[in-house]
């Protein structure tokens, strides 16, 4: 049987992980709003916030020498009630994380589409400039005497 300290510590780590997953879901929603409103400076700030949450999740994942492996090794030593509580926390965390990842994928698709549209517009502008330059180089202006209507 696991010690009370390691059980309590694992439970706290799982709860903290769930809060990080909840934060990721909330940040992903805010990110989508910023993308929709085309607020890129604010989006960059939000991405920095998300990175801090991801760093926290990564650090938690390394807890106990690898949280997922540790949970697999130790879960059968927990009381049924505690195991059910931990599994419920893990399940909720996974649902939150899946929602965050789906929002993230949607935002990525939107930004990729905008980038592609911008590239297409830049190509069209470039082609227009090239065409105007070519037309301008091929055309010679008439001498000013030809424009004198008094003649």
Phi, psi of 105 (to 5 degrees): -65, -40
Position 99 in a domain: yes
Over residues 43-74, the pLDDT tens digits come to: 999 999 999 999 999 998 888 888 888 888 88
Residue-number span of the structural domain to which 55 is assigned: 4-107
Position 145 in a domain: no
Position 130 in a domain: no
Domain count, the chain: 1
Question: 3-state SS string over 93-125?
Answer: HHHHHHHHHHHHHHHHHHHHHHHHHHHHHHHHH
Position 84 in a domain: yes
Position 147 in a domain: no
| Percent of the chain surpassing pLDDT 70 | 87
Position 54 in a domain: yes
Position 57 in a domain: yes
Which SS3 state, helix, strand or coil, does residue 101 take?
A: helix
> Are 44 and 35 a contacting pair, CB within 8 Å?
no
Position 92 in a domain: yes
The arithmetic mean of pLDDT across residues 91-111, rounded, is 95
CA–CA distance, 89 with 16 (Å, rounded to integer): 10
Over residues 133-146, the pLDDT tens digits come to: 888 766 655 555 55
Sign of CA dihedral 21, 26, 30, 32: positive
DSSP codes, 4-62: HHHHHHHHHHHHHHHHHHHHHHHHHHHHHHHHHTT-HHHHHHHHHHHHHHHHHHHHHHT
């Amino acid at each position: 049987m696991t010690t009370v300290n390691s059980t309590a510590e694992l439970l706290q780590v799982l709860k903290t992980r769930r809060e990080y997953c909840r934060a990721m879901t909330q940040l992903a929603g805010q990110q989508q709003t910023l993308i929709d409103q085309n607020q890129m400076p604010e989006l960059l700030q939000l991405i920095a916030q998300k990175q801090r949450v991801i760093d926290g999740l990564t650090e938690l994942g390394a807890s106990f020498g690898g949280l997922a492996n540790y949970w697999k090794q130790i879960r059968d030593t927990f009381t049924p009630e505690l195991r059910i509580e931990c599994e419920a926390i893990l399940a909720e965390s996974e649902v939150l994380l899946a929602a965050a990842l789906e929002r993230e994928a949607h935002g990525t698709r939107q930004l990729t589409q905008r980038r592609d549209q911008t590239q297409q517009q830049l190509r069209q502008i470039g082609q227009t400039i090239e065409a105007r330059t070519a037309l301008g180089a091929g055309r010679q202006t008439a001498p000013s005497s030809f424009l004198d209507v008094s003649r």
